[in-house]
Amino acid sequence: MSDLSIGLKKGETLGDSVSSSLKQKKSKKNGKAFFSAKQTTIGGAVSLTGVGVHSGAPVSITLQPADMNTGIRFAVSHLDKDVEIKAHCEFVDSLTLCTVLSSKCGAVVATVEHLMAALRGMSIDNVVVEIDSGEVPIMDGSSMPFVRSIEEAGIVELDAPRRYIKVLKPVQVEEKGCWGQLLPFNGFRLDVEIDFETPVIGRQRFVSDITREVFRDELARARTFGFMADVEKLWAGGHALGASLDNTVAIDKDKVVNSDGLRFADEFVRHKALDAVGDLGLAGYPLLCCYKSYRGGHALNAKAVKALLSDEEAWTFVDAPFVAPVRVSDRDGLIHEQSSGSAVMVAANFAADRN
């Protein structure tokens, strides 16, 4: 099976073939495509450098624009060959401490979750991530450096409808007192709850519909966190070699070690919500659902996605319709175009079509 068709049901196709050029809709007759109705990519190449949080090795990545129906792919070098790994749960190789993707030939890319969260959170459908090492750089431990790079490059609409996976019935997974649940919902909502014994964290909950603006302003800056008591064990196992107070919120007993403190009072649960955006992005397409989790993490999130895709009655593909904006005049009589309603609601309420 072509990796472009992973997740498609029997008899379904992606529709349009990959275009050789990027196109932005500029038809005056039909207006500008409604946000979330069209597939997107970035407006130009953008590069970042940093270190791998587990390897400690220097790494550079370049985000490259990609044509419609490409999806999100990681381009890595393996045995002197260029290999592309699609960002899909089919290729998840490990979920210990971070999300690792691998190809059948053995090529690996680790710690993809924060970049995946940025791409999904900023509504990017198609991009190729060129990487010169086996691990995405940790940057400051959040998704914000990637978000800023995406904004620097710009977001371009492509001449193809966005395809969604629409959840049709509840799907729940459980593991050692933790659970995750995907529910039908007209949009994309997260309801994430964590519960730690340390009073520094305790019980925290984040609930919100996730739009590009909400992701950027409410989640993207939340950093990964860890416990000082675990450091020596992680180092002995070859992990966290690149971790520092510059990229991790460190907790020692009943206090946060970082001198600058927290970015949000509930930064811990916000980071778990950020991780969920990235992990759910491994469904291969944006989801129309509400995702609820209790004490979840990468493994539970991935387990929920796999459980959903393995149940053909639990989901279907839907392609977003074209929605023309409403033309209105201001006080000076000038004509402007504005959105006629919530893009998420429009995307969620069009008729599902299995054929």
- Per the prediction, the chain carries an average pLDDT of 83
Taking CA atoms, 252 is separated from 199, 255, 261, in Å, by 11, 6, 13
d(CA 184, CA 348): 10
Taking residue 124's Cβ as centre, other Cβ atoms within 10 Å add up to 24
Catalytic residues: 298
Confidence band, pLDDT 50/70/90 cuts, at residue 328: low
pLDDT at 283: 97
pLDDT at 236: 79
d(CA 164, CA 348): 9
Q: Could you read off the pLDDT of 261-279 as tens digits, one per residue?
A: 999 999 999 999 999 999 9
pLDDT at 129 over 90: yes
Closest CA to 71 of 131, 1, 130, 120: 120
pLDDT at 234: 78
Specify the higher pLDDT residue, 35 or 82: 82
Q: Could you read off the pLDDT of 147-168 as tens digits, one per residue?
A: 999 999 999 999 999 999 999 9
pLDDT-wise least confident of 101-105, 269-273, 326-330: 326-330
pLDDT at 191 over 90: yes
For 3-12+20-349, CATH number out of 3.40.30.10, 3.40.50.720, 3.30.450.70, 3.30.1700.10 equals: 3.30.1700.10
pLDDT-wise least confident of 12-16, 72-76, 204-208: 12-16
| Under 8 Å between Cβ of 99 and 278 | yes
